[in-house]
């Protein structure tokens, strides 16, 4: 009797686990090739997307599907994908844990970046711990070279589909400060 009950629980547990696995959206397989299995990218120039705010992800992916943002590969991948699937993808990545960038910390550069970010009030939108909220992306733990490049894109209005709010936020910050900002954010836990 006990054994049978135990067997039933094991079966229920197995069903529950296979259900949880099945909830990973099918498209995520294609994303993993570039953004990493757990949403943390190990490819230079490719951002990590784990732990990004859900609304930021939804906006970015919908605009990419419509062909006004993102890379060509992503536009092709998302072409015709229904809203429900985009929402599922966004929930999936928003719920994954962002792991801080490994690699050594340059203390001087880190402290310089911390000072510039504080003086420039970047945390007023991205939150004081830079994990982002709503349409404001997470900066903490993002890849260093991606952050530096993307700031240049905002500075020179080269970011396709980018929010002009960010170009305004960088106004008055010399681009020689971007490497320190990028180093600081990327090493934040």
Which of 79, 80, 60 lies closest to 70, judged by CA? 60
CA–CA dist 40, 46 (Å, integer): 10
Query: Looking at beta carbons only, is 101 or 147 nearer to ligand HEC?
Result: 147
Nearer to ligand HEC, 181 or 188 (CB): 181
Distance between CA atoms of residues 184 and 56, nearest Å:
22
Least separation in angstroms between CB 113 and ligand HEC = 9
CB of 22 to ligand HEC, least distance (A): 18
Q: CB within 8 A of 56, min separation 6: which ones?
A: 132, 134, 135, 136, 137, 138
By C-beta, is 27 or 114 nearer to ligand HEC? 27
Nearer to ligand HEC, 34 or 109 (CB): 34
Task: Name which of 151 and 188 has its Cβ closer to ligand HEC.
Answer: 151
CB of 2 to ligand HEC, least distance (A): 46
| Binding site residues, ligand HEC, CB under 6 A | 27, 30-31, 33-35, 45-47, 49, 57, 60-61, 70-71, 73-74, 77-78, 89, 117, 120-122, 124-126, 135-137, 139, 142, 147, 150-151, 162-163, 165-166, 169-170, 173, 181
Judge whether 144 and 113 are in contact, CB under 8 Å. Answer: no
**165 Cβ neighbours under 8 A, 6+ residues apart:** 125
Smallest gap from Cβ 15 to ligand HEC, in A, equals: 28
Residue 172, classified by CB atoms within 10 Å of its CB into exposed (0-12), middle (13-18) or buried (19+), is: exposed
Q: Is 66:124 a contact under the CB 8 Å cutoff? A: no
Q: How far is the CB of 58 from ligand HEC (least distance, A)?
A: 9
């Amino acid at each position: 009797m006990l054994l049978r009950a135990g067997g039933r629980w094991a079966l229920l547990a197995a069903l529950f686990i296979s259900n949880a696995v099945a909830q990973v959206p099918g498209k995520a397989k294609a994303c993993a090739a570039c953004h990493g299995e757990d949403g943390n990218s190990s490819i230079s120039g490719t951002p990590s997307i784990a732990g990004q705010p859900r609304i930021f992800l939804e906006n970015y992916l919908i605009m990419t599907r419509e062909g006004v943002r993102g890379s060509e590969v992503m536009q092709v991948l998302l072409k015709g994908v229904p809203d429900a699937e985009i929402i599922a993808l966004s929930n999936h990545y928003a719920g994954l844990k962002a792991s801080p960038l490994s690699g050594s910390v340059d203390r001087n550069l880190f402290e310089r970046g911390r000072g510039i970010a504080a003086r420039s009030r970047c945390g007023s939108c991205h939150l004081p711990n830079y994990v982002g909220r709503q349409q404001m992306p997470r900066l903490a733990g993002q890849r260093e070279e991606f952050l530096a490049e993307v700031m240049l894109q905002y500075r020179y209005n080269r970011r396709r589909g980018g929010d002009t709010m960010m170009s305004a936020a960088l106004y008055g910050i010399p681009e020689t400060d971007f490497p320190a900002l990028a180093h600081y954010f990327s090493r934040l836990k």
